[in-house]
A and B are shown apart, each in its own frame.
Chain A
Amino acid sequence: MNARPVTLLIAAMGGEGGGVLTDWIVGAAQRADLPVQGTSIPGVAQRTGATTYYVELWPETHAALGGRHPVFGLGPSPGDVDVVVSTELVEAGRCCERGFVSPDRTTLIAAARRVFATSEKAAMGDGRFDAERVMRALRELPRQALLFDPDRLPDAARGVSLNALMLGMVAGSGRLPIPLDCYRDAIRAGVAAEANLRGFEAGLALAAAPPSPAAETTRARPGLAGLLDQAASDLPPEVLAVVDIALPRLTEYQSEPYARLYMERLRRILAVDPAPGGLHRLSAEVARHLALWMAYEDVIRVAQLKSSSTRFAEVRAEVRAKPHEPVQVTEFLKPGVEELASLLPPALGRRVVAWAERTGRTERVHVAMRVRSDTVLGFLRLFLLARLRRWRPRSLRFAEEQAAIEAWLARIAAAAQRGEHALALEITACARLLKGYGETHRRGRSAFALVMAQAVDSARPGDPAAAGRVARAREAALADPEHRTLAATLAAIAAEAAPAPLARAAE
């Protein structure tokens, strides 16, 4: 009573061609005269959600069975699946959690790539699931794992469809008792046979020589600007790595003196960084956030980035235009009244902002521009906007940002001097809240101000709980765009920091 069907489970997302892959396998088995049954749960599950397909086949031909019919199951059973195919990493993890990947039986064929779920994408900061957790299971559980990164395929496998490639890997794994030519015939019976046959052969090759899973890419870093070599030469390596990127960026953003100002500010922190264990983590983090903050995004910066000489190549690559195909690019720019007023001299700009605020125009008045940046006149608009760079130091926004930066640095330096290293780090990290444009930026700025006022400035110097409170407040600010969580957290912090008089009396 030991004979059993060979079983295969495909985990995919709706619209990925899992149904076609199932059909190919069923078709190939039928061509090999093997009893086979495939099932799926399409319907609404198909609309981009996670779904599975399941195949059972008998390792003896109809002819050999002489009229006996195997009983096939309709769904996978834990510990009883021979081959698991997954088009995505988390879905492979789901198969493991449901017990379909077992050490004594299962060959796992998986695309080690992430397709992010809505909950991961919609987070205000970084909501991505830690893929390493899944990798731990994928390394340990299967009897055999064939993992590959679809973005780093050998040349022969470029541009083929994922399901054809995976069919080749299923065939190449040798776990199904189906001759290779039966798979090929099954593909020929369908659409786009030629391209899919190519994918199948590439998959066969991939199964025979599986590439090692994606290595961390090393990022190319521009060299240090010559003039600043010397100034940077005495920095600790972890700080230098950031400064290395920051100096050329700020020089491009504004000017060389502006980059010098960055160095000067950074050295102030370096001087008070206690560097526990010899590691200048605080300085490195300040270096990173300071560079981003000093290169804040305004209309001028956007125009500069969108008119840079490397950008068109990037766009062409991104949209996969062929070399001879012209690409027309339309930009959607819609600076609001506040963003425009912030370019005016401080005195005038403040009056405009106040007027807009008073008359409720802050969120309603904006200049909508659709700029065709591939045309000469459209490009010229961006180009001229970018030239306003020289004007920037005289603008309201510049004055405000520099003041805010100084205040932030002063808080960090003060905490570091008091020996509150953890608090200094947490204050530094709050700069993360400042990002975006228009309303997003307003929201971030107000969250930053609230956290500074109610979690940093209100803290008793030397309070060991202060760092934790700042961290909590910062995470809360990223929990929802309406700042409901932030308000609740700050209220809780206020209550903690100042215990109620009654409670004190009870002590």
Chain B
Amino acid sequence: MLAFGYIPRPGGVMERSFAKEVALLRRGQGEMFEGEGILAIAKALLQSGVSYVTGYQGAPVSHLMDVFADAKPLLQELGVHYEPAANEAGAAAMLAASINYPMRGAAVWKSTVGTNVASDALSNLASAGVRGGVVMVVGEDYGEGASIIQERTHAFCMKSSIWLLDPRPDHPRLVELIEQAFQLSEASSTPVMAEVRIRACHMRGRFTAKDNVTPAISTKTPLTTPDFDYGRICLPPSTYVQEQDKVNRRFPAARAFIAAKGMNEVLDGDLDEVGIIVQGGHANTLLRALARLGLADGFGASRIPVLVLNVTYPLVPEQVTGFCAGKRAVLVVEEGNPDYLEQAIAAALREADLNTRIVGKKVLPMAGEYTAETVLKGLARFLEGAVPRGVDLERVGEVLAASLSPGERARALIGAPLPARPPGFCTGCPERPVFAAMKLVQKELGQVHVAADIGCHSFATLPPFNMGNSILGYGLGLSSAAAVAPMFGERRTITVMGDGGFWHNGLSTGVTAALQNRTDGVLVVMDNGYTSATGQQFIPSSTADEGATRPRISIEQALRAMGVTWVKTQGTYVVKDMVKTLREALTTKEKGLKVIIAQQECQLARQRRIKPQIAAALKAGKRVVRTRYGVDAATCTGDHSCIRLSGCPSLTIKENPDPLRRDPVAHVNNDCVGCGLCGEVADAAQLCPSFYRADIVGNPTKRDLWIARLRQRLIARLQHFAEWRAPA
């Protein structure tokens, strides 16, 4: 007999498998590789003979980490060391191996936030310079679908002298550029970053694979002698020498390599009065826009000359001036601000005394994603301004008008703003009840300042919770409340942090300082077992990867060892218990840091784990009880308080079946996973009696059926009696 109720902590099966992707990484010379961009990069790393790979998860590059984690046998065969770091700083620091030893290494993270965290190590790495090639693959989380602050990685590269690749999104070229990046790194003793945007990471395409390269230095052929050279230490006077070396040797070497290997691409065209310089990442968008205006074919042959910068830092001045020479005007397609490229190109032209007009942010927006529409509009404006011979401006105007008019017509027809649909907590998410409880506690004790953090729980800042007064970075929630808490006096603040943020930075930065400074406040740690927002990667406190050899670190033990005395571990779904614990934390006489560990497994991971188990049990004829919730439409009056306290996607509304009522009734749809929150909330907030819980017995036993039949019969009697007696 199996009953799938609340399983407090998971155990057993590893819930996801990337076996198919791992098989792709094994493809050899001449075989076709078909898959996502980020996997093509993973394959390029192995084809480049990396000795080690590290990183920290974050969209859009998490997938690379996931696949490497599953590719252990392959990596062992090759002698490649893979180690997920505790945070991006750790990952960047690991790249130090290539300072001393001629081995290639790679790291991945989300940028710019990850680069921010890594920047201390990056400055040192870039100053010392590398012997083995170093490539950092950064997911440039910018534009539609981005979840972070909108900034450019470009600035980091400029200040630390790190070379920046912005590869054209085309699988064969992408792989080739990653391979060249290692050579560039070695030729100029400089670490290289490759920024890949969201859509490029998830772009599915194909390329012809090469064999993986076994590195010369590997876990199978280890090092024997430690390298010592004070020149590689980032302390004076070496740092002065290193700075000179950057300017005098590394820059020129890099420029020479970029030019010699043709890393940037020049597309010739017959309308050479004008030209376009574009970041590699936007080359396809530009070429498609040119094609729509009749200025390019479907294969990238453009009538206007184009310089595709697959390396956006450093620029090769001769390449730029050579391209611009003889042209009246050149359009620079550069996403984001500040306009570093446009400034650098203008300076190069000035220096070469060329008076080609540079047009960039004048026709393209300074801020925001360069979508197909943005680029098409900017290109049209450029052509209208530059009026190159041979371009049919009438056609340009027609294409633009035809492209934009359906959208305008639609907006006129619809005539009201469509409801926004931001991301939110999943169906049955165990973090939701914590915020429902916080809402109820605040109703009772008054509003409190809530310092939010990075993770799924930051969705609480959106309706229906609207909770969280600031977000300052991953694991920095507690620190961000440090000056707020004393100003609120007796009224305590709450910090909400995920287990991912806790291990990433929260423990070392927030908790340590709170203890040292005897800060009074409440910290809620969402212990759901994974870094869920990035795709359920394991963290030190994960328990789901049963059988793994790594030691498990308990959050509660870590806190107690550091000296936190008020720690409560609390399951999340029973709202009234969570309310009680929160109330106690906010009102107890005990001063200092009070930590609530809100513990319940990520529902997305849990469903992925138990769904096949349930299906198998049902198929095998075992008795399985499945639970879900429902609303009696007849007793629901359509006030939706329950929705305002829960926000579960499966708790929705439907047309009121009562012809006398107009407001829609609450309704639980079939995505319900039976977490029970809606019933709990209705109960804890004394909302309404409309919710019911239904336990459906699959493969019932004979006894089940006999009892059910008996009950039905007796109840039917009573009903018959009641309804017969009722006056007609």
Contact B647 A122, beta carbon cutoff 8 Å: yes
> Hey, which chain A residues are within 8 Å of B247, CB to CB?
none
Q: Which of B65-73, B176-184, B495-503, B685-693 contacts A (4 or more CB under 8 A)?
A: B685-693
Shortest beta-carbon distance, A308 to chain B, in Å? 7
Among A78, A126, A309, point to the contact of B664 (Cβ < 8 A): A126
- Complex CA gap A90/B410 in Å reads 12
> Hey, which chain A residues are within 8 Å of B723, CB to CB?
308-309
Is A376's CB within 8 Å of the partner chain B? yes
- Complex CA gap A368/B680 in Å reads 12
Contact A126 B663, beta carbon cutoff 8 Å: yes
Contact A288 B727, beta carbon cutoff 8 Å: no
Contact A78 B406, beta carbon cutoff 8 Å: yes
Is A45's CB within 8 Å of the partner chain B? yes
> Hey, which chain B residues are within 8 Å of A307, CB to CB?
718-719, 722
Is B384's CB within 8 Å of the partner chain A? no
- Complex CA gap A403/B562 in Å reads 65
> Hey, which chain B residues are within 8 Å of A125, CB to CB?
638, 663
- Complex CA gap A75/B420 in Å reads 20
Shortest beta-carbon distance, A395 to chain B, in Å? 18
Q: Which of A48-56, A170-178, A205-213, A463-471 contacts B (4 or more CB under 8 A)?
A: A48-56
In the complex, what residue of chain A is closest to B464 when comparing beta carbons? A122
- Complex CA gap A227/B692 in Å reads 36
Among A68, A102, A134, A306, point to the contact of B414 (Cβ < 8 A): A134
> Hey, which chain A residues are within 8 Å of B60, CB to CB?
42-43
Among B202, B299, B643, B693, point to the contact of A68 (Cβ < 8 A): B299
Contact A326 B705, beta carbon cutoff 8 Å: yes
Shortest beta-carbon distance, A261 to chain B, in Å? 14
- Complex CA gap A155/B685 in Å reads 42
Interface residue ranges of A17-43 to B (CB < 8 Å):
22-23, 26, 30, 36-43
B606-618 interface code vs A (CB 8 A; 1 in, 0 out): 0000000000000
Given contacts A45-B423, A140-B413, A332-B693, contact A297 B199 (CB under 8 A): no
In the complex, what residue of chain A is closest to B705 when comparing beta carbons? A326
Is A440's CB within 8 Å of the partner chain B? yes
Is B206's CB within 8 Å of the partner chain A? yes
> Hey, which chain A residues are within 8 Å of B727, CB to CB?
251, 255-256
Shortest beta-carbon distance, A103 to chain B, in Å? 7
Shortest beta-carbon distance, A76 to chain B, in Å? 6
Is B517's CB within 8 Å of the partner chain A? no
Contact B697 A71, beta carbon cutoff 8 Å: no
Shortest beta-carbon distance, A421 to chain B, in Å? 21
Contact B719 A321, beta carbon cutoff 8 Å: no
Contact B406 A331, beta carbon cutoff 8 Å: no
> Hey, which chain B residues are within 8 Å of A336, CB to CB?
686
B407-434 interface code vs A (CB 8 A; 1 in, 0 out): 1111101111011111111110000000
> Hey, which chain B residues are within 8 Å of A102, CB to CB?
402-403, 406
Query: Which of A245, A322, A331 has the largest number of chain B CB atoms within 10 A?
Result: A331
> Hey, which chain A residues are within 8 Å of B415, CB to CB?
133
In the complex, what residue of chain B is closest to A72 when comparing beta carbons? B284
Contact A69 B426, beta carbon cutoff 8 Å: no
Is B373's CB within 8 Å of the partner chain A? yes
Contact A329 B371, beta carbon cutoff 8 Å: no
Is B388's CB within 8 Å of the partner chain A? no
Tier of interface size on chain A: 35 or more
> Hey, which chain B residues are within 8 Å of A164, CB to CB?
none
Is B545's CB within 8 Å of the partner chain A? no
Among A1, A121, A330, point to the contact of B693 (Cβ < 8 A): A330
Contact A41 B640, beta carbon cutoff 8 Å: no
Contact A41 B687, beta carbon cutoff 8 Å: no
Shortest beta-carbon distance, B168 to chain A, in Å? 9
Contact A3 B694, beta carbon cutoff 8 Å: no
Contact B59 A47, beta carbon cutoff 8 Å: no
Is A504's CB within 8 Å of the partner chain B? no
Tier of interface size on chain B: 35 or more
- Complex CA gap A147/B229 in Å reads 71
> Hey, which chain B residues are within 8 Å of A305, CB to CB?
632, 634-635
> Hey, which chain A residues are within 8 Å of B692, CB to CB?
315, 329-332, 373
Contact A327 B695, beta carbon cutoff 8 Å: yes
Among B288, B295, B402, point to the contact of A73 (Cβ < 8 A): B288
Shortest beta-carbon distance, B142 to chain A, in Å? 11
Is B86's CB within 8 Å of the partner chain A? no
Among B427, B652, B687, B726, point to the contact of A439 (Cβ < 8 A): B687
Is A10's CB within 8 Å of the partner chain B? no
- Complex CA gap A169/B288 in Å reads 27
Shortest beta-carbon distance, B146 to chain A, in Å? 8
Is B203's CB within 8 Å of the partner chain A? yes
Given contacts A47-B425, A103-B406, contact A124 B639 (CB under 8 A): yes
Contact B653 A440, beta carbon cutoff 8 Å: no
Interface residue ranges of A344-386 to B (CB < 8 Å):
363, 366, 368, 373-376, 379-380, 383, 386
Contact A334 B289, beta carbon cutoff 8 Å: no
Contact A297 B637, beta carbon cutoff 8 Å: yes
Given contacts A73-B284, A255-B727, contact A99 B410 (CB under 8 A): yes
Contact B686 A439, beta carbon cutoff 8 Å: yes
Contact B202 A41, beta carbon cutoff 8 Å: yes
Contact A77 B292, beta carbon cutoff 8 Å: yes
In the complex, what residue of chain B is closest to A38 when comparing beta carbons? B204
Given contacts A43-B147, A245-B659, contact A137 B287 (CB under 8 A): no
> Hey, which chain B residues are within 8 Å of A246, CB to CB?
660
Q: Which of A112-120, A264-272, A404-412, A483-491 contacts B (4 or more CB under 8 A)?
A: A112-120
Contact A47 B424, beta carbon cutoff 8 Å: yes
Contact B297 A3, beta carbon cutoff 8 Å: yes
Among A4, A124, A383, A439, point to the contact of B722 (Cβ < 8 A): A383
> Hey, which chain B residues are within 8 Å of A72, CB to CB?
170, 205, 284, 288
Given contacts A77-B292, A305-B632, contact A481 B200 (CB under 8 A): no
Shortest beta-carbon distance, B587 to chain A, in Å? 16
Contact A319 B628, beta carbon cutoff 8 Å: yes
> Hey, which chain B residues are within 8 Å of A311, CB to CB?
632, 634
Shortest beta-carbon distance, A430 to chain B, in Å? 14
Is A333's CB within 8 Å of the partner chain B? yes
Contact B688 A436, beta carbon cutoff 8 Å: yes
Shortest beta-carbon distance, A306 to chain B, in Å? 7
B372-408 interface code vs A (CB 8 A; 1 in, 0 out): 1100100000000000000000000001001111111
In the complex, what residue of chain A is closest to B693 when comparing beta carbons? A330
Given contacts A49-B424, A440-B687, contact A80 B372 (CB under 8 A): yes
In the complex, what residue of chain B is closest to A259 when comparing beta carbons? B727
Is A225's CB within 8 Å of the partner chain B? yes
Is A101's CB within 8 Å of the partner chain B? yes
Is A276's CB within 8 Å of the partner chain B? no
- Complex CA gap A63/B661 in Å reads 63
Between-chain CB contacts (< 8 Å), 12 pairs: A13-B421, A42-B145, A48-B426, A99-B406, A116-B652, A120-B419, A125-B638, A141-B413, A321-B696, A387-B722, A436-B639, A440-B641
Nearest first, the 3 A-B pairs at minimum CB distance are: A99-B407, A43-B59, A41-B145
A-contacting residues of B (Cβ < 8 Å)? 34, 59-60, 141, 144-145, 147, 169-170, 172, 197-200, 202-206, 284-285, 287-289, 291-292, 294-300, 371-373, 376, 399, 402-411, 413-416, 418-427, 456, 459, 462-464, 533-534, 628, 630, 632, 634-635, 637-641, 643-644, 647, 649, 651-653, 657, 659-664, 668, 670, 679, 682-683, 685-689, 691-698, 700, 704-705, 707-708, 711-712, 714-716, 718-720, 722-723, 726-728
B-contacting residues of A (Cβ < 8 Å)? 1, 3-5, 13-15, 22-23, 26, 30, 36-51, 54, 58, 68-80, 90-91, 93-94, 96-104, 115-126, 128-130, 133-134, 136-137, 140-141, 219, 221, 225-227, 242, 245-246, 251-252, 255-256, 288, 291-292, 297, 301-302, 305-309, 311-312, 314-315, 318-322, 324-336, 363, 366, 368, 373-376, 379-380, 383, 386-387, 432, 435-440, 444, 481
> Given A71-B298, A122-B640, A325-B698, 15 other A-B contacts at CB below 8 A?
A1-B296, A4-B291, A39-B200, A43-B198, A48-B426, A70-B298, A116-B653, A118-B463, A219-B659, A226-B728, A288-B660, A329-B694, A374-B711, A379-B715, A438-B687
